[in-house]
Amino acid sequence: MAKVFIYPATSLILSDLVARFGHTPLSAAQSIREHIQTAGLESPPLQISPEDPKKGLKYAAVEVPSGVRGRMSLYGPMIEDAEAGIIIHDADLAFGCMGCARTNELIIFLLKKRDIPVLELNYPKTDAEGAEFVAAIRDFLVGLGREK
Amino acid sequence: MTTPVRIAQLSCGPEYSGVQKEIDQAAKAVDAEIFYPDISLADIRRDFTAFGLDVRSPDLKLAIARAKALVEGRVEADAVFIATCFRCAEAAIVRNELRRYIHENSKLPVVSYSFTERTTSGTLLTRMEALTTIARRRALLARETQVGLTLGLDSGSSTTKAVVMRDNKIIGTGWLPTTDVLESANATIQQALDMAGVKREEIQAVGTTGYGRFLVGEKIKADLIQEELTVNSKGAVFLADCQHGPSTVIDIGGMDNKAISVQDGIPGTFTMGGICAGASGRFLEMTAKRLGVDITELGPLALKGMSKQVAMNSYCIVFGTQSLVNALAAGSSKEDVAAAACHSVAEQVFEQQLQEVDIREPVIMVGGTSLIKGLVFAMGELLQVEIVVPPYSQYIGAVGSALLSSGFIREK
């Protein structure tokens, strides 16, 4: 079974689909949960401590806004860990939404740069497109299982 | 126990920059609470589209929708704090447009800030204090006339100023460089009292402002301890005799600068800060020292020179000083260098701060640097307006404090 990075990383539907086909979704909820539950001196009250944007320097230089670097400290390690990826372009806000467009551009770029299977789809606008959308994700996830 | 002032936060990125806690702490320190206006997904889709600024970042779309909810009264708040990441162009556009939109369409005081992961609650404190003052003390800020015998003290980063006022007139002033904060304050107060010919115990109310306001205010048992944004606005419109209608107050200080858009004497939007001392009065002090003239001579000297003759950019005080030394070494005249230094400081303030407030006439320059005529001239040239420098402009904070503190006489 593969570790699949999903974009938008906040999409519960996408996360659920990946898990249903026996894979491990790499998503925002998981990263933030680990971040909060890992006991330590710097356990932050919110998602991010002031130290995290510095960890994000591995993925974005110091002239990049702190919010991008802070977000990358969450998502960067997951992208490195991923064995596959699913990218949904122009998703509806209700499907899953990530706050910063610049971070999103960087996440998609870094994910595509990895030499791993990546499925890219546009968010469906009709019922027919919706059926094709789910089928494409299913085929991709089933295929991942076979490769393994 | 007073009810906390409710400050609505419109933001993108503070929680991911690790600074949300600092924002919350700064608000708590001035008895305010930060909250996020609660809106639905349908509100976001509708309001973001209606606003018409087609940004990509969903957090900015959310901020836009929240701003509309506040302006349209669907969510109640006392004040608004807009915060986005420093160096993000998309967010900077939204920040400016939201501030303008809220300012033009509601009575909510609004302040915006671009943060980095190093932003601390201390940096935000004066801004939060001003926001809560405007929200909580509208009645106090509505005061237009000074009554009785009051003392105002401005404990600034470079100089300490004191003013004694009686029945709406300034009768004594004091001005000394700030060294030991308390000693400078006491000596300046004594200067003002001596000039006014009154004794300390005759003073009916005292107000303090400036960086040392808390320390001095507690020591001398001030009735009013208030940040300089609201106090300077009041002082400026009082001295310039334009207490009604719009105005813009510019205070280029020794350590930081303030640009305040004022309506009826109450700040609406304001910016505070400055990237480097190259955009402050400190650079002009250094220039005067390097030219071998007193700071009081720099302004008249600059008026005789042509700023365009010397290339100078004081975005950074070190590079600014380097340009200054190079210009003198290349044979530039003192007059031209003085003019270039004034132009450079005015340009930095214009580029870094005045873009963030709506410039509405009259434009009033205050603080010690308003006495440097070359700087006032350069600012007027850049803004294409005639700048007003009221009498006693260097005592602005002390005058504002003396004026506002007279509101406490009746309570005694």
- Return the domain boundaries, chain A: 3-147
A107-116 residue pLDDT tens: 999 999 999 9
**Residue B277 — pLDDT band, cuts 50, 70, 90?**
low
Other CB atoms within a 10 A radius of the CB of residue B322 amount to 14
Lowest pLDDT segment from A45-59, B98-112, B116-130, B326-340: A45-59
- pLDDT confidence tier of residue B315, bands split at 50, 70 and 90: low
Q: Residue A104: closest CA among chain B residues belongs to which residue? A: B57
pLDDT at A47: 60
Cis peptide before B37 (omega within 30 of 0): no
Nearest by CB to B85, from A48, A66, A98: name it. Answer: A66
Average pLDDT over residues B202-220: 94
% of chain B beyond a pLDDT of 90:
53
Smallest CA–CA separation between A99 and chain B, in Å? Answer: 4
Q: What is the pLDDT of residues B349-384, one digit of tens each?
A: 888 777 777 788 999 999 888 988 888 998 999 899
- Over 70: is that where the pLDDT of A42 sits? no
- Report pLDDT for B248: 93
**Domain definitions of chain B by residue range:** 5-136, 149-229+396-408
Q: B5-136 in CATH: which number?
A: 3.40.50.11900
Band of residue B321 on the pLDDT scale cut at 50, 70, 90: confident
Across the interface, do A99 and B57 touch by the CB < 8 Å criterion? Answer: yes
Band the pLDDT of A40: cuts 50, 70, 90. Answer: low
CB contact under 8 A, A48 and B17: yes
Q: What are phi and psi of A12, to 5 degrees?
A: -70, -35
A residues 2-41 lying closer than 8 A (beta carbon) to B: none
Distance CA B115, CA B239 (A): 34
Q: How many whole angstroms separate alpha carbon B261 and alpha carbon B248? A: 5
pLDDT (0 to 100) of residue B52: 95
Rounded to a whole number of angstroms, the distance from the CA of B35 to the nearest CA of chain A is: 15
ipTM for this model: 0.89
The pLDDT of residue B29 = 94
- The CA distance from A40 to the nearest CA of chain B, in Å, is 16
A66/B17 CB distance under 8 A: yes
Phi-psi region of B285 (alpha: psi -120 to 50; beta: other; left: phi over 0): alpha
CB pair distance less than 8 Å for B16 and A70: yes
pLDDT one-digit tens code per residue, B47-97: 999 999 999 999 999 999 999 999 999 999 999 999 999 989 999 999 989
Q: Using the predicted structure, report yes or no on whether residue B102 has a pLDDT greater than 80.
A: yes
Q: How does the average pLDDT of chain B come out, rounded?
A: 89
Superfamily for domain range B149-229+396-408 = ATPase, nucleotide binding domain (3.30.420.40)
Evaluated on CA atoms A36, B84, B4, B73, the torsion sign reads negative
**Res B269: pLDDT:** 77
Q: Is A123 on the interface with B (CB under 8 A)?
A: no
Give the neighbor-by-neighbor strand order of the sheet with B5-12: B32-35, B5-12, B79-85, B110-115, B266-273, B257-263, B246-252, B363-366, B387-388
**pLDDT per position as a tens digit, B383-401:** 999 999 999 999 999 999 9
pLDDT of the residue at B122: 85
What is the mean predicted confidence (pLDDT) over A114-133? 96
